[in-house]
């Protein structure tokens, strides 16, 4: 590590110490009405220090999450303060720790805290983190961490969008859905909605595959902490995809041509992720292999169904053209046997046209 990096670390440590000391003094001096705000500020500073190698202190993260255990207004202030620090900082370590804190809210936060996160900002209800252009070129380490900030921000955005579509936070410990209930909910979805949920979950896996290469950050504990949370989400997403793929297996014969095409595309994207996802510890290899086997099997089935639909449409097209020719040059003379009389005695329908309508309806 060069002198510039060491100097930057020292300046960051001094800045953290000064900011936290100031916030601690204000906590003691402030009245009861302001003590909560000062306490939140101090907690946030402790959870998002400038150290580019150390992850947030678990006690500081737990203290930050505790602001979601009281009133909705307090939870809203906590989310707003966290987002403000994320949007205003130019330090890659601080930004990455803010994103890690947001991820902790998604995974471990109370319902009120998660609810405030899902509707932030209050005016738009969408969660655009807008960090795609984040750059910190103060040191080589900061520059490399910047790529992780950009990727992690995009991943968190995608996670929030997918969770909003599914109706619960993917990977959240407080939103764990029993498998039977989740299968029941999925079985009630329309085909189009089921395809959209599957595509969104696959996009999470695809996003994980696009993580930066840790050339100089192999032993960085902050990056390892990030990958640990993302790895847990990965397993949750794979489980959710499996539930939906099994449901598609039951509906294979009633999928429209368009739904089959979109599903096949999602399955191919999912299969492309094999070998590129995170190696998650404490997960049995046979479970992972079973997932990929399920994806390959369903992709084959959907491909055959799509091919069968293509042949059927081609056959119908030929029959339609043949019918058009016969209608143009066939016998146009109506005979008494060509009529169907109803009980009213006033309605008559051309039996030939009636059979054509019925065949088209089928």
Give pLDDT tens digits for 67-123. 999 899 999 999 999 999 999 999 999 999 999 999 999 999 999 999 999 887 754
Is 356 inside any structural domain?
Answer: no
What's the CA gap between 127 and 46, in Å, rounded? Answer: 24
What's the CA gap between 286 and 74, in Å, rounded? Answer: 45
Q: Are residues 143 and 272 in the same domain?
A: no
Lowest mean pLDDT among 103-117, 124-138, 151-165: 124-138
* pLDDT per residue as tens digits for the range 27-79: 555 555 445 788 899 999 999 999 999 999 999 999 999 999 989 999 999 99
Q: Are residues 68 and 147 in the same domain?
A: yes
Q: Are residues 137 and 29 in the same domain?
A: yes
Q: Which domain holds residue 91?
A: 13-159
Q: Are residues 226 and 305 in the same domain?
A: yes
Q: Are residues 219 and 267 in the same domain?
A: yes
What is the pTM (predicted TM-score) of this model?
0.80
Grouping H, G, I as helix, E, B as strand and the rest as coil, residue 342 is: coil
Grouping H, G, I as helix, E, B as strand and the rest as coil, residue 255 is: coil
DSSP summary character for residue 345: S
Q: Are residues 51 and 153 in the same domain?
A: yes
Is 279 inside any structural domain?
Answer: yes
Is 277 inside any structural domain?
Answer: yes
The first and second tokens of residue 272, run together, are 């492309």
What CATH number corresponds to the domain at position 206?
1.20.58.150
Q: Are residues 252 and 308 in the same domain?
A: yes
Q: How many CB atoms lie within 10 A of CB 26?
A: 16
Is 4 inside any structural domain?
Answer: no
DSSP summary character for residue 217: -
Q: Are 24 and 42 in contact (CB under 8 A)?
A: yes
Q: Are residues 187 and 303 in the same domain?
A: yes
Q: State the total domains in the chain.
A: 2
Q: Are residues 106 and 209 in the same domain?
A: no
What's the CA gap between 67 and 242, in Å, rounded? Answer: 35
């Amino acid at each position: 590590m060069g002198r510039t990096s060491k100097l930057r670390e020292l300046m960051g440590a001094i800045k953290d110490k000064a900011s936290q000391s100031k916030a601690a003094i204000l906590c003691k001096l402030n009245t009861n009405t302001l003590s909560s705000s000062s306490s939140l500020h101090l907690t946030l500073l402790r959870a998002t220090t400038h150290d580019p190698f150390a992850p947030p202190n678990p006690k500081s993260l737990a203290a930050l999450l505790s602001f979601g255990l009281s009133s909705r207004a307090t939870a809203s202030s906590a989310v707003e303060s966290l987002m403000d620090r994320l949007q205003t900082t130019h330090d890659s370590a601080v930004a990455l720790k803010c994103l890690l804190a947001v991820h902790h809210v998604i995974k471990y936060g109370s319902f009120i805290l998660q609810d405030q996160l899902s509707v932030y900002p209050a005016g738009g209800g969408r969660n655009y983190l807008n960090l795609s252009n984040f750059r910190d070129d103060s040191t080589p380490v900061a520059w490399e961490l910047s790529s992780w900030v950009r990727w992690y921000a995009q991943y968190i955005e995608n996670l929030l969008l997918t969770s909003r579509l599914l109706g619960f936070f993917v990977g959240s410990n407080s939103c764990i859905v029993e498998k039977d209930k989740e299968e029941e909910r999925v079985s009630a979805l329309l085909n189009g909605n089921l395809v959209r949920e599957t595509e969104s979950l696959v996009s999470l896996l695809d996003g994980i595959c696009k993580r930066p290469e840790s050339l100089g950050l192999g032993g960085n504990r902050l990056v390892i902490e990030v990958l640990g949370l993302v790895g847990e989400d990965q397993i949750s997403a794979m489980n959710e995809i499996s539930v939906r793929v099994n449901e598609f297996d039951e509906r294979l014969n009633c999928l429209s041509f368009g739904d089959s095409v979109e599903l096949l595309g999602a399955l191919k994207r999912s299969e492309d992720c094999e070998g590129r996802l995170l190696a998650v510890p404490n997960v049995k290899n046979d479970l992972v292999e079973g997932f990929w086997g399920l994806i390959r099997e369903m992709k084959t089935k959907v491909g055959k169904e799509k091919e069968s639909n293509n042949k059927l449409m081609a056959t119908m097209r030929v029959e339609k053209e043949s019918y058009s020719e016969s209608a143009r040059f066939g016998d146009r003379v109506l005979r008494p046997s060509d009529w169907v009389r109803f009980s009213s005695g006033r309605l008559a329908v051309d039996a030939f046209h009636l059979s054509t309508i019925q065949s088209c309806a089928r």
